[in-house]
Structure 1
């Protein structure tokens, strides 16, 4: 655990250095805000992302997350200059308890996350996109893994891609450094929706409105179980899922959902026993 629930009970009053955040109607929007560097990820920015994501995970008022970006590039990946020379910049959040690995951070969120892709995605930016539950991209967005051109390999990205697409497609993206269009990315499952630039926010809002109709507790149980299944042998999976269903049945959301169904009314999520 990089940050504890106690550490992240509130977002910093003075805000973050490289992120913008806003919360409304149970949705936390986290915006990468380093446009002059194409939102390349330096150590302070990674720590801020870990802090904000931990806040989103443990805040009962946050049901959904939107991951957005300022400028014309969604994310250029890791800041290679900072990696080469080291980083001594002060941070707006406490030092995390360990290295920030974006793939693990996204997988551990356990709440629906929508990536709002308004521009190009490169290299480590794939970890944010690949780890999101939904990815809504503008028609002009592009996606590329250029690491092999620099004598590197996108090891962590490969692991995320293997959850999304067949192994040969994932390996081909890593090995040939091709640039995909938004339609290409849609066809291989990296993107879930493609929208004209003037309709991007409308498409995302409709998706959020639909998700808000459903039980946040049920969705969190489901996303957590999806991640936990990966570490279980097949013979243990059904037993685990049966236990998860039994636990979910005891939650206020499940009781409210069943009552609303029987009473033929709309459920009121988020109530307590």
Structure 2
């Protein structure tokens, strides 16, 4: 069964849900799904709704048309140069809201998979890097092209720089070039490359497999990974050990271990 969320604008983002997998499709193909203020705020609301929805176990983010997202809406930004402050207040607002969106994806207690066909550039590439997993069609392209228009992709580098090695991330930002799906996979931005046009379908297959696992276990694991990954080794192990103790106290852990020992399928609580 497929359902839609009334709190998500159908003009900007479509929400569909099937078997615990929520698909959010950016639906502004005419402007390459630019992350304008309205699009960003719609996605923030969508992820907040998903965080509270016990039936939603995994999220897939996709885009209509030739791009997942080409980044910020440059026409919107340029229009605000006519403001009395030449757009400074608006630019502060949109960068803050964009950071809120990216952090909401990371903090969401459910895995998020990006399904990329076409291009994902600038803040669109930031969106991809903020997701937990990425499935890309073989014709997909990725870039941090801000340097080409005199606007270094500093904010996108926060997410990209935490996903790729520093050298690869800086190369993307300094050159502004388009990277193929195969190159993005080699650099660690993409998990798997699939035939063109198959990214969404393959992402849903992956999401359905993950959604069959214990939801509390996935939430604990995602949070623990993100907490420890930037910490020194000793702190990371302390955080990971705490997470495993917390996980072992969950009913699903007891059920999962019992099912393994009894050679049967586990019956998860959620």
Q: For this structure pair, what is the TM-score category when the shorter chain's length is used for normalisation?
A: 0.7 to 0.9
**Distance in structure 1 (CA, Å) of the matches to 2:20 and 2:242:** 28
Q: 1:83 aligned to 52, 57, 77, which one? A: 77
Does the 8 A contact of 2:227 with 2:239 survive in 1? no
Question: Offset of 1:191 from its aligned partner?
Answer: 1.1
Q: How does 1:57-76 map to 2 (within 5 A)?
A: 57-76=51-70
TM-score (norm 1): 0.85
Segments of 5+ residues of structure 1 without an aligned counterpart are 1-9, 88-95
What is the Cα deviation at residue 86 of structure 1? 4.1
Q: Any residues of structure 2 matched to 1:167-182 within 5 Å, and which?
A: 167-182=166-181
CA distance 1:235–1:70, change in 2 (3 Å): same
Tell me the distance in 2 between the aligned counterparts of 1:154 and 1:241. 32
CA separation in 2, counterparts of 1:44 and 1:247?
A: 38
Find the aligned partners of 1:166 and 1:235 in 2 and give their Cα distance.
22
Q: Per-residue deviation at 1:174?
A: 0.1
Tell me, yes or no, if structure 1 residue 211 matches structure 2 residue 210: yes
- Contact kept? 2:19, 2:208, Cα under 8 Å: no
Show CA shifts across 1:221-271 (max 9, x none): 111112222565544333322222121122232122123223321112235
What is the CA-CA distance between 1:158 and the residue it aligns to? 1.2
The separation in 2 between residues aligned to 1:164 and 1:31, in whole angstroms, is 23
Q: Which residue of 2 aligns with 1:243?
A: 242
User: In the aligned structure 2, how far is the partner of 1:184 from the partner of 1:253?
Assistant: 39
Question: Is 1:19 paired with 2:13?
Answer: yes
Which 4+ stretches in 1 moved above 6 angstroms?
none
Counterpart CA distance in 2 for 1:58 and 1:232 is: 29
Shift of 1:126: 0.9
Whether the aligned pair in 1 keeps the contact of 2:8 and 2:45 (CA below 8 Å) is: no
Compute the displacement of 1:75 (Å).
0.6
Greater helix fraction, Structure 1 or Structure 2: 2
Higher mean displacement: 172-181 or 240-249: 240-249
Instruction: Say if 1:152 and 1:204 are closer, same or farther in 2 by CA, change over 3 A.
Output: same
Deviations 1:43-80 (A, max 9, x none): 11101101111222232211100001111211110001
Structure 2 match to 1:164: 163
- Once the two structures are superposed, the pairs formed by residues 1-273 of structure 1 within 5 Å of their partners are 11-12=5-6, 15-86=9-80, 99-101=97-99, 102-230=101-229, 232-271=231-270
Q: Is the 8 A contact 1:16 1:48 kept in 2?
A: no
* Alpha-carbon distance change, 20 to 263 in structure 1, aligned in 2, over 3 angstroms: same
Distance 2:8 2:155 in 1: 32
> How many residues are paired up?
254
Distance, in Å, in 1 between the alignment partners of 2:169 and 2:21 is: 31
Indicate if the aligned counterparts of 2:62 and 2:200 stay in contact, CA closer than 8 A: no
